[in-house]
Amino acid sequence: MQVDPRGPRFAAGVTTVILIAVLVTGSWALLAAQAVVFALATVFGLRYAPYGLAFRALIRPRLAPPRELEDAGPPRFAQGVGFVFALVGTVGYATGTTWLGIGATGLALAAAFLNAVFGFCLGCEMYLLMRRFTAI
């Protein structure tokens, strides 16, 4: 499946805002909600992810058609990586191991910020490296 690359970048922007709110508030429930968003995108695909639905309904109709599409595999893998970090962070906050919650959330925030601001998808690059090494 092919996706408009602006969709995952939009999702990364929303994720960045959510993760900043988690770090400010220390809310494990908000981080758990973000983990659910990551899980939905990973399991059902970007097309059915909440931020993907919002992008297609609210943002994409106002934009010119994309110049190119990209494979959905790398961003979907990146959502899975985000899910793992959000899950670890949620467990950290919920169990009182705040340093774990902050650390995992901070790492997820760094990756989301890189994608939202610079268009550099860290999880996508991990996916491509893994594909390269498993193809050998």
What's the mean pLDDT when you consider all of the chain?
96
Could you tell me what percent of the chain has a pLDDT over 90?
Answer: 96
What's the pLDDT at 136?
59
pLDDT tens-digit readout, 55-114: 999 999 999 999 999 999 999 999 999 999 999 999 999 999 999 999 999 999 999 999
What's the pLDDT at 135?
73
Domain assignment of residue 110, given as a range: 2-135
pLDDT surpassing 70 at residue 7 = yes
Q: Is the dihedral of CA 28, 29, 30, 31 positive or negative?
A: positive
Rounded to whole angstroms, the Cα distance separating 129 from 63 reads 32
Rounded to whole angstroms, the Cα distance separating 66 from 10 reads 14
Among 116, 44, 110, 119, which Cα is nearest to 82's?
A: 110
Q: How many separate helices (H) and strands (E) can be counted in the chain?
A: 6, 2
Overall number of domains in the chain: 1
pLDDT tens-digit readout, 25-42: 999 999 999 999 999 999
For residue 35, what are the CA distances in angstroms to 5, 114, 134?
22, 19, 28
pTM above 0.85, yes or no: yes
For residue 96, what are the CA distances in angstroms to 29, 83, 101, 102?
13, 20, 9, 11
Among 41, 46, 42, 17, which Cα is nearest to 105's?
A: 17
